[in-house]
Structure 1
């Protein structure tokens, strides 16, 4: 199975890169990042060990370079099942940081642009992070039904960063395993740092030269 992440953010932030890195950690060499227009962004994502395309997945599907795609879209009417994954050659995840409430960007920017009849499925009633979607996809691909997974809405945590303590609340759903949220390495630190620096203007890694 090919996992396609359609990059839809204006830049690659540390938070976004953290999520992208987790997708590669879960699926290894079977990951393709698409719609990566910036040369520097392509270099960053290739550094994760994945394939990277400047073209959108929509273009690749139309050219036949990606076949039998399935979109993970929160607006899809049906939930993802193991048979859906088995019947698809590629599963598309929207490379979107997410907004609260969700604005349907995956639907507008991917699903609507693909050929009529392209399959789409949701991962439950709540919006997940990119990393969360990757974890759930892996479990479903292994034959686990969504209803068997422990997925909880919202995450609140406090973390010490030097002389500062950040309290962060995230309006997304997170998969849990063994009573703990499944998160990428250093996720809490990256998110907390983003919260502390937000008003100063958070840097885009693909705008940093060198």
Structure 2
């Protein structure tokens, strides 16, 4: 498939890599690869050993350098996806920017403003609407807007879906997801099982 010329960069702002982040990164890598885009994980500490399956994910490029160093000469082509930006991302931004930058931990609840560390570096910012998204969802939405040229408000979403833990318990996800063809939220492979396992663990802690 032809390279779309778009690069999606997640600046990894943590010394570790949680299991759910690894699943999100794998999903971003495979979707980017399938659509001819490039996925770059930047600022990865040299001491951080990525899980085996992520190391071999097609479409994943890993950099120990930070975004400022990598794109020092074309900063004006970098768009920071920023919940605090004053403008929403639109299809025309696909003509203005080649590099779309994400602050790594978008999926915090409540949101910690991790993006502020990148905002201070002076990148132009765009928003993806009012609701909090997981990192893989934010990349997915950005790709749909700038590569498929579909405006954010025309993308079908599922907000705050409930996941059944068992026949008596369910947990509500505090995020917005892209709606899949079957009507359910698009999540990385293995994510639902991981959430259920974590929920069961925390339920056990309460007992």
Task: Using structure 1 for the length normalisation, give the TM-score.
Answer: 0.81
Contact 2:80 2:124 in 1 (8 A): yes
* Structure 2 unmatched ranges of 5 or more: 1-5
Shift of 1:165: 7.6
Alpha carbons of structure 1 residues 91 and 158: separation in structure 2 relative to 1, 3 Å: same
Q: Does 1:82 align with 2:88?
A: no
Among 125, 144, 152, the residue aligned to 1:146: 152
Q: Does 1:5 align with 2:10?
A: yes
Alpha carbons of structure 1 residues 196 and 109: separation in structure 2 relative to 1, 3 Å: farther
Q: CA RMSD in A?
A: 2.6
Match of 2:103 in 1: 94
Shift of 1:42: 4.9
Within 1, Cα distance between the matches of 2:107 and 2:188? Answer: 17
Within 2, Cα distance between the matches of 1:33 and 1:183? Answer: 19
**How do 1:56-75 residues align onto structure 2 when only pairs under 5 Å count?**
56-62=66-72, 64=73, 68-75=77-84
Q: Where does structure 1 differ by over 6 angstroms across 4 or more consecutive aligned residues?
A: none
Match of 1:32 in 2: 40
Among 126, 130, 133, the residue aligned to 1:128: 133
Q: Does 1:188 align with 2:198?
A: no
Task: Using structure 2 for the length normalisation, give the TM-score.
Answer: 0.82
Alpha carbons of structure 1 residues 143 and 111: separation in structure 2 relative to 1, 3 Å: same
Match of 1:53 in 2: 63
Match of 2:3 in 1: none
Shift of 1:24: 0.7
Contact 1:58 1:110 in 2 (8 A): no
Shift of 1:43: 6.6
Shift of 1:150: 1.8
Contact 2:106 2:132 in 1 (8 A): no
Between Structure 1 and Structure 2, the one with more strand by share is 1
Q: Does 1:159 align with 2:169?
A: no
Between Structure 1 and Structure 2, the one with more helix by share is 1
Match of 1:103 in 2: 112
Shift of 1:21: 0.8
* Structure 1 unmatched ranges of 5 or more: 201-210
- Number of equivalences: 193
Question: SS of the counterpart of 2:194?
Answer: helix
Alpha carbons of structure 1 residues 65 and 80: separation in structure 2 relative to 1, 3 Å: closer
